[in-house]
Amino acid sequence: MNESVPGGTTADQLRTVIERIENLEEEKANLTADIREIYSEAKGNGFDVKALRAIVRMRKKDDHERMEEEAVLATYMHALGMADPEE
C-alpha cells in the first residue's frame, strides 16, 4: 500500500473500502432481520421453524450431495435401531 498522506489518495481509498463494508454489514443485518421476521410469521401460521430451516439448508445442496448425506444418515439410524428395518 502507498504511504498514507492525510487527505491523500490512499486514505480516501481506505475510507471508501471501510464505508462499503459498513454499508454491506448494514444490509446484511437488515436481511437477517427480514428472514427472522419471515420465520416468525411462518411459526405464527403453524409451520415448524426447525423443519423449515432444515429444508432451506437441504435446498442449498446439489442433489448428489443431499442424497449422499441422507444415505449416511439412514445407515447410522439403522445401525442404532432408530429406523424401520424394512426401509
pLDDT digits (tens, 9 = 90+) for 40-75: 999 999 999 999 999 999 999 999 999 999 999 999
Other CB atoms within 10 Å distance of the CB of residue 28: 10
- Report the C-alpha gap between 43 and 36 in whole angstroms: 11
Q: How confident is the model at residue 3 (pLDDT cuts 50, 70, 90)?
A: low
Q: How far is CA 35 from the centre of its chain?
A: 10
pTM value? 0.69
Query: What percent of the chain is modeled with pLDDT above 70?
Result: 89
- What is the C-alpha to C-alpha distance for residues 81 and 65, in angstroms, rounded to an integer? 24
Question: Domains of the chain: which residue ranges?
Answer: 1-47, 48-87
3-class secondary structure, 45: coil
